[in-house]
Structure 1
Amino acid sequence: MNRQELVKEIFDKKSFLCVGLDTDLKKVPTHLLNEEDPIFAFNKAIIDATADYCVAYKPNLAFYEAFGVKGIMAFEKTIDYLNKHYPHHFVIADAKRGDIGNTSAMYARTFFEEYNLDALTVAPYMGEDSVKPFLGYEDKWVILLALTSNKGSLDFQMTEDKDGERLFEKVLKKSQEWGDDTNMMYVVGATQGEMFKDIRKCAPTHFLLVPGVGAQGGSLQDVCKYGMTADCGLLVNSSRGIIYASQGEDFAEVAAQKAHELQQEMAAELERIER
């Protein structure tokens, strides 16, 4: 999916919601454990219930790899289902890959050729040759970790050099020598609040993938106030707050309700944009 198509989907659906498919068998409704593939059964129900309210899905690979071959098969079935039934949704593999060039090239082949995903999260800290292999695919996106919402982000990302430039700012500036706002996004945690102003100084037009709204306490209004651009420029992810809103047999209906509530808030924010 290219940038123009993504922006059109956002304004057509009045949503920039990304639903995170962090599927944990310890948290899914117990009645699904009798299914042949409970992970896929859960994902399918969540997708069908929330598709009208979101523009993107983000399966987190760790939640599938934890179950070995069965988990990877569930991931593959989920991706196949999305590609077949919801081809206009933007699908992100949250895998946080990044290695020396030839290894990154194989990761890129896996996610962009084998699975035909739209985007992949990538750790940038091995530098240009570890990121460039992901950028050679037309209408595919690299989403670089920039300023995350976890407590440990302070350990490295906020450290300053002798000129006062913080590491996340250096990542934002340097990486724009490798790609542009048509093939590169950045991960910025929703809990960063006013820090979005600093992000936008370095990357004024790039899309931002923003986790942390909902269960992690990030404010959608703050994200929009400081991070929204003329063509939205945001994909805001919610995982636990939607997919685990109920552990009963009504889990899909409640997930749809939570997604709809967020979509309505997003629609109000999008109305503020002058296009």
Structure 2
Amino acid sequence: RPLASVANDDAIEAAAAARAPPAGDTIYAVSSGQGVVAGVTVIRVSGPQAGPALRCLLGSGDAEQPFPKPRYAAVRRLIAPGPGGEELDEALVLWMPGPRSFTGQDVVELHCHGSRAVVAGVLGALEATSDVLLSGSGDIMRMAEPGEFTRQAFSNGRMDLAQVEGLADLLAADTSAQRKQALEQMKGALSTRYAEWRKSLVKCLAHAEAVLDFGDDEDDVVEDQVYNDLVPRVRALRDELESALLDGHRGEIVRDGAALCIVGAPNAGKSSLLNQLARRPAAIVSPVAGTTRDIVEGVLDL
């Protein structure tokens, strides 16, 4: 990322905090992709009521359904709250009490079967659970907004802004180069680099202020030594920042990709070239001129 994207972190964090929902809310949502029928779907619950909500889903007083140990996967039946206690699914359950969780709050993950009926049933049970748990308490348990689990992690200090941007890039990565770059940023490589720059700048500033404040009271030799040590450090730091700006531009190209258009006369071989690049029959190849009339698009990992 270019430096400009994180140059005003304090203002961005303050604005994000102002827009953020109350920290005491318990939120839940499908965290493994919306609208996808799959073998397994992950439903995440995060907040102070995550643990009590799981207890409700396990069924009150059922000795065969003990509350799982922290950070141990356990197979449990998910039971709808209320009279009758309909069984919704048999799921892999994870209980991760905060602050040692992705969001920094108490987190429950339900790895259930991915049919629409199962997912809708479990989400409906969580909504019913919130009515049972929070009736008259003033607390809130609701569906999460898009990206809100990550916002909780950011608000609770589990991720900084650069890591959040890295996570967003990782989720959108199409190529191995994009994946590698985003993963490094998400793991904190960029944040560590910024912290080192800040440390160097603070040290240089302290030396400069010392020369300005006490230069008249000290020996000229000492002042010259401090100055001669300071100038090369500042210049080296400036060169490193300029190099990082260039790297940031290259990183943007990796992240966003490059748009290429194959243009040529009819039957010049455009479709054949596209198929070779895509390594699949993306376009129809025919000796008849004008066979490909629609725009054919493809994503290439070169």
User: Could you tell me the TM-score, scaled by structure 1's length?
Assistant: 0.27
Per the normalisation by structure 2, the TM-score is 0.26
Higher RCO (CA < 8 A, seq sep 6+): 1
The structure having more radius of gyration, on CA atoms, is 2
